[in-house]
Amino acid sequence: MKSTELRALCDEYVKRLQPFARIEVVEVAHEAFRDIGEKEKASAREAERILRVACNVNRQHLILLEEKGREFDSPEFAKYLSKLGEQGQTICFVLGGALGLHSSLTAGKQSISLSRLTYPHEMARMILLEQIYRASCIMSGKQYHY
């Protein structure tokens, strides 16, 4: 993350999540490309790195963040995460960078959307962490909205 302000917010939500879950944020370097003709190959290389990281840490349930993914309100998202937790699922959220997510990564995988709006990937990370925290509060019976 380039923005120190957004990194600080992400760090704050990771800290708040410690009583609820073990959170690990892993960044995969973006793939540079010179022209639009190289974009597909660059995106495929990024997807390979993402899968290596996701699979090497023994993740059981990949959830991709995409604009056309399933949308939730906060209580629905909490129920969704709770159900996965009850099934003993380890969850790995995958958020793409500037190139988005390559089709080799998205084919047949479950995806969610934070909104129908488009956010910069750094902001989307912060929003995702906040929503995981909010879901954790809901699941633990704490008031999530004042």
Taking only the tens of pLDDT, the chain with its 146 residues reads 789 999 999 999 999 999 998 888 888 888 888 887 788 888 888 888 888 887 655 546 889 998 889 999 999 999 999 998 888 778 889 998 777 888 888 887 889 999 989 888 899 999 999 999 999 999 999 876 66
DSSP 115: -
What pLDDT score does 121 carry? 87
CATH number of 4-139: 3.40.1280.10
Buried b (16+ CB within 10 A) or exposed e, 90-109: eebbbbbbebebbeebbeee
How many CB atoms lie under 10 A from the CB of residue 65?
20
Q: How far apart are CA 4 and CA 31, in angstroms?
A: 22
What pLDDT score does 123 carry? 93
Q: Closest Cα to residue 49, out of 26, 24, 68, 22?
A: 26
Q: Closest Cα to residue 91, out of 9, 17, 143?
A: 17
Q: Closest Cα to residue 58, out of 10, 14, 12, 22?
A: 22
What pLDDT score does 57 carry? 54
What pLDDT score does 59 carry? 47
What pLDDT score does 55 carry? 65
